[in-house]
Amino acid sequence: MKNEPRFRVSQALAIVGAVGVSFGLLTVVGSTLLYASGHDFSFLSTYLSDVGNTPGWPGTVFNTGMLLVAPIRYLFLVLLVLLLGHYGMPSMSRCIALALGVVVALGSAGTAAIPFSLSRELHMLSAMLYFFGTVILQSLIAWQEWRARLPRLLPVLSLSVVASYLIFAVLLSLVGKVETVTRATPVIWEWLAFASLMFWLVGHSVVLGAKRMPPQGESRGEA
């Protein structure tokens, strides 16, 4: 009976992950198709924020979807942290991860709630909080997953998010400051960052959702 509550958490993680992926894909794919029907679109020149800044249905679908996805992804993080706690993630690390998750969720919601046409400064601040916050959060998660000796796919997926988000955030911060970094330079990395996050959600939902948690104190992978 002791294992049953922990197993339910893993099942909840799988369900919330599936919902998060579904909402994320429907939001981005749907709003992008709406955008492409009336505008020039390219993965090399069109930011996701360009879609969100478009009047009418493209912006409405994108921004509404992003606002709905933010709390879903935070709930996924809460469930993930609960599971990692049973693999030896220290309580301080869990608190840090959840605090970082709040920053990331606020940054994500801020980019949707404040298009750059409304306030470029606040939009960019929200974007920097979201992307750099995700880099720190996913680095922490990757380390805990590696330390716990979970399937190596999980930390690899976490590090792929770190890499794509970090490259995009750095390039975005250099636009207009470095001659070789044009407005279009970071664009492809934003789409790769989105794809890496979707793969991360799918991978963690499938692997951890099907995995029974060990009794507390066992299989913690401490070395």
What confidence tens digit (pLDDT) does each residue in 169-217 have?
A: 999 999 989 989 999 999 999 999 999 999 999 999 999 987 665 555 4
Structure tokens at 222: 């401490």
Predicted pLDDT of residue 214: 56
Q: Is the pTM of the predicted complex or chain greater than 0.85?
A: yes
Predicted pLDDT of residue 213: 57
Which own/partner contact pairs does 150-153 have at CB distance under 8 Å and 24+ positions apart? 150/87, 150/207, 150/208, 150/221, 151/207, 153/203, 153/207
Structure tokens at 1: 């009976």
Structure tokens at 92: 């301080």
Q: How far is it, in rounded angstroms, from Cα 12 to Cα 31?
A: 28
